[in-house]
Amino acid sequence: MNEKNLNKTTMPKVMTEENDRPQEAGNLKEGKEKTPEQSETDNKGNDLINKVKNMVMQHKKIAGGIAILLLLSIIIAVYFGSQPKKLSDMLKIDFKGYDGYGEVEFNHGELDKTVTEVMYKEAGLTEKDIKDAEKGLDGLLNAIPKYLKAEQEKQRVSYSFDKTDHLKNRDKIIFTVTCSGEKCPFAKETKEYEVKGLQETEKITTDDLEKEYPITFIGYNHFGRVEFDDTIYDINTKINDTITNDSEIKIKINDSAIEELAKKGKVIQDNISEYKKKVTGLPEVSMISGLDELYDKVNTYMQTETQNSDTDLGTTTYTVEKQKDYLEYKAPYKAAYVDDDLGGYINVRTVYKITKVFETKFRYLESSEKTYYTYFGYEGVDVVDNKVILKDKNSGKTHSYSTWDNLESIEADIKNDGYMEYKTQ
């Protein structure tokens, strides 16, 4: 290629036709006046074109085609380098979890760092300002206004996904970037991504759930207690110490547990969140050895409290008739602020019909006769390995100072306290 031809081809016909002119989305349209930012970009491009032209003229021996390509590449680099940055170009996303419960993860920290660096630079805050602030008060006072301005600049930019959790494969999620004010170094964006790669969930039954998180019944029939993980289940614990075999208890699976299980890929079949469970396996209280001996001690205790007496005032005699035995069992349980479980224990009561006769020896006192019902018993007696453990014959003794007129009324009150009738074996 000769020198004459080089001079004719050094400057390519670039950006001269209206249709060839690059347009910034939303800003340049046919017949629309350029914004100051676009004019500044064009001026920079023209200055660089002139510099490249001079360089080419000074090196005429370089092949004309190479010079043209060099010039074009520089022009393109200048043009695109002056455009607002796209955060989506830096975005790295990954979909984790299970279908229907997936989550989107992305390089939030990296994006935030980029936004911070660019917007701080826009505000005029430099690394030198930060270093000066670390050195002393003067530098700090000088940097504070710039820092506040930099933070305001940073707040102009925000980015987010319209949905980040409970994602399903083939869902569409939108990544949005907004930037308020003028001359923003980041482009406003709305970009769609398709969710994919989430694992399939596993269907499980309530039986499967209980294998991993058991629900158990302890204690004795009529006095059972339910034990369970309260982070998984919601069960009315007011029924404790009254649970009987063949009854059903209502179980609710916590919403938070359902959510956590799903995140682990386990979904309860048919979306069950409530169900009933039949109580089984509670032994009878008659399995507790030593009960008969304990009731014998109750009778001995009653006798010591109803001994006949003869004083200067008169004589008192008691006629006692045993009515019924009752018991109440409390299963072991975990108490707040106590490291060890509180062991199981039993309370027993025996109801007696008592006739008390007083015959006076003193003329100012009247003789009297009264028939009433009351009870004597023991409370808090330990039960270990199905056996009554009475540590001290005097510990746990109890009797009522109240009296009842008939058996029905005292029996109703005792049952209302949680006791049931026990028939000596």
Summarised one tens digit per residue, pLDDT across range 305-351 is 999 999 999 999 999 999 999 999 998 876 555 455 567 999 999 99
How high is the pLDDT of residue 55? 53
The answer to whether residues 263 and 101 touch, using CB atoms and an 8 Å cutoff, is yes
What would the two tokens of residue 287 be? 């399995």
pTM over 0.85: no
Instruction: Report the pLDDT value the prediction gives residue 59, as an integer from 0 to 100.
Output: 52
- Please tell me the distance from the alpha carbon of residue 224 to that of residue 255, in angstroms, as a whole number: 27
Return the SS3 of 35: coil
What's residue 150's pLDDT? 86
- Reported as a pLDDT band with limits 50, 70 and 90, residue 139 is confident
Question: By C-alpha distance, which of 126, 121, 91 is closest to 183?
Answer: 121
Banded pLDDT at 22 (limits 50, 70, 90)? very low
Residues ≥6 apart with Cβ < 8 Å to 167: 95, 97, 100, 101, 102, 103, 104, 173, 195, 198
What mean pLDDT do residues 182-195 have?
93
Which residues are CB-neighbours of 352 under 8 A, at least 6 positions away?
A: 302, 320, 321, 322, 323, 373, 374, 375, 376
235 burial type by CB count under 10 A (0-12 exposed, 13-18 middle, 19+ buried): middle
Mean pLDDT of 253-273: 95
pLDDT at 87: 94
Any residues with CB less than 8 A from the CB of 423 and at least 6 apart, and which? 325
Contact 351, 360 (CB under 8 A): no
Tell me what pLDDT residue 114 has.
93
d(CA 362, CA 349): 37
Closest CA to 396 of 380, 409, 375, 418: 380
At 183 the pLDDT is: 85
For the chain, what are the domain ranges? 3-81, 88-194, 204-278, 285-422
pLDDT at res. 136: 73
Give Cβ neighbours of residue 129 (< 8 Å, ≥ 6 apart).
139, 142, 143, 146, 147
Q: Which residue has the higher pLDDT, 109 or 142?
A: 109
